[in-house]
Amino acid sequence: MRSIPLKYGMNPHQEHAQLYTEGHLPIKILNGEASYINFLDALNAYQLVRELRQSIGQPSAASFKHVCPAGAAVYSPLCDSLVRSYFVEGMELSPLAVAYARARGSDRMSSFGDCAAFSDRVDVTVANLLGKEVSDVIVAPGYDEDALKLLKKKKNGNYLILEIDSEYVPRLLDQRTVFGITMEQERNDVQISEAHLNNIVTTQQFIPDNAKRDLLIALITLKYAQSNSVCFALDGQTIGIGAGQQSRIHCTRLAAAKADNWRLRQHPVVQRMDFAPGLSRAEINNAIDGWANEEMTAAEEMQWRFYYNAVPERLTKSGKQQWLAGLQGASFASDAFLPFRDNIDRAAQSGVKYVVQTGSSLRDEQVIKAANEYGMVMAYSGIRLFHH
């Protein structure tokens, strides 16, 4: 038996924790100490980026928190507004580093203290980018020597660095022990591809190549997101993930709200904000989130103002709606069927044009009718992607 001792289990009081296998152990610690959750994040996150790489053919990255993706992306060039929104002005970035900037930029608040996962060998531009972010773990199939040297300095030398064998093939059967009882099933090894986008059920039938890419990114991301889950994607990255909710409409509302925040971060007011000196990136993210929040209490408003040298103008409701109307052409994926049209109604408010879902709901006709009313293109994937 090959094993790696863990500093603790799910919580610090859960001792006697280890990772082990009877065969090849494909992952090793290059620096730091690992907990149970660290490995749950790393093993799920790496599978996600590996599948994105295989499906899309571009360097891929993910930001994982609490066994769920906060964001995922493939390489796609950044426009000027995203360069500023993602805090990468003046930085030299490889395609792999751009993918991570996009993944983390999907939801910068949720990415705080993340597990950063990479499909390719990590280079020094990735290490430089991570050096400016609060991150707890990295997992990748390899590291350039200069990148590894920089990463080992992170968190006062305690940054957890994991290296995984890119050629590793897991066995077909997965096992899990719950309450002393072991369950077994075939591993979810479905290969998500454009074939899952061919069964188009709406009046509008055409899905351009960029939207196909985004739909695949969303589906693959959902394969490793806690169910129920939905995902919004645009321009080669996720822009909103709603996961772990018992109601699908709550997943959609959560993901749509995050997609709206992603769009709001690119508003001209945000791009020229004058922050108080000495703020960390996390505090700046909090400040921007507060600016977008229409429901702050008076006490929260007073605290929010301390983030700035000059307090920025707040958006009116109509001004916010006008800016959000610029979010167009987004893709939306669901890990199971859409039971009611309310998911389509909410997705349409956040610029969704392309939809993929499992299909075979009792109310399919109502959902198709809603998609047709908004001029959407909707495909049935025929697969369910629950993940627990």
Give Cα 137 to chain centroid, integer Å.
15
Q: What is the pLDDT of residue 181?
A: 96
pLDDT tens track for 194-251: 999 999 999 999 999 999 999 999 999 999 999 999 999 999 999 999 999 999 999 9
User: What pLDDT, on the 0 to 100 scale, is given for residue 46?
Assistant: 98
Residue 326 CB burial class (10 angstroms; 0-12, 13-18, ≥19): exposed
**pLDDT for position 295:** 78
pLDDT at residue 1 is higher than 80: no
Residue 182 has pLDDT above 80, yes or no: yes
pLDDT given at position 159: 98
The pTM of the full predicted model, rounded to 2 decimals, is 0.96
Is residue 210 annotated as a catalytic residue, yes or no?
no
pLDDT at position 293 is 80
Whole-Å CA distances, 215 to 195, 232, 290, 304: 12, 8, 30, 37
Which member of 31, 38, 128, 228 is catalytic?
A: 228
Q: Please, which pLDDT band fits residue 155 given cuts at 50, 70 and 90?
A: very high
Catalytic residue among 13, 16, 317, 388: 388
Handedness of CA 255, 261, 262, 264 (dihedral sign): positive
Known active-site residue 24: no
Segment 92-118, tens digit of pLDDT: 999 999 999 999 999 999 999 999 999
Give me the pLDDT at residue 292, please: 84
Q: Judge whether 140 and 27 are in contact, CB under 8 Å.
A: no
Q: Is 38 labeled as catalytic in the residue annotation? A: no
Residue 65 bears catalytic tag: yes
Contact in structure between 314 and 323 (CB atoms under 8 Å): no
Per annotation, catalytic residue among 7, 66, 155, 320? 66
| Across 14-23, 55-64, 107-116, 203-212, least confident range | 14-23
| Residue of 65, 196, 223, 267 marked catalytic | 65
- Express as a percent the part of the chain with pLDDT over 90: 89
> What is the pLDDT, as a whole number, of residue 301?
82
**CA distance linking residue 179 with residue 344, whole number of Å:** 39
Domains of the chain: 2-169 (3.40.140.20), 190-263+327-380 (3.40.140.20), 268-314 (1.10.287.440)
> What pLDDT, on a 0 to 100 scale, did the predictor assign at position 101?
98
What average pLDDT does the chain have?
Answer: 95
What pLDDT, in 10s, does the model give residues 282-323?
Answer: 999 999 998 888 777 888 888 888 899 888 988 888 889 999
Percent of the chain with pLDDT strictly greater than 70: 100
- What's the pLDDT band for 376 if we cut at 50, 70, 90? very high
For 321-365, the three-class secondary structure string (H helix, E strand, C coil) is HHHHCCCCCEEEEECCCCCCCHHHHHHHHCCEEEEEECCCCCCHH
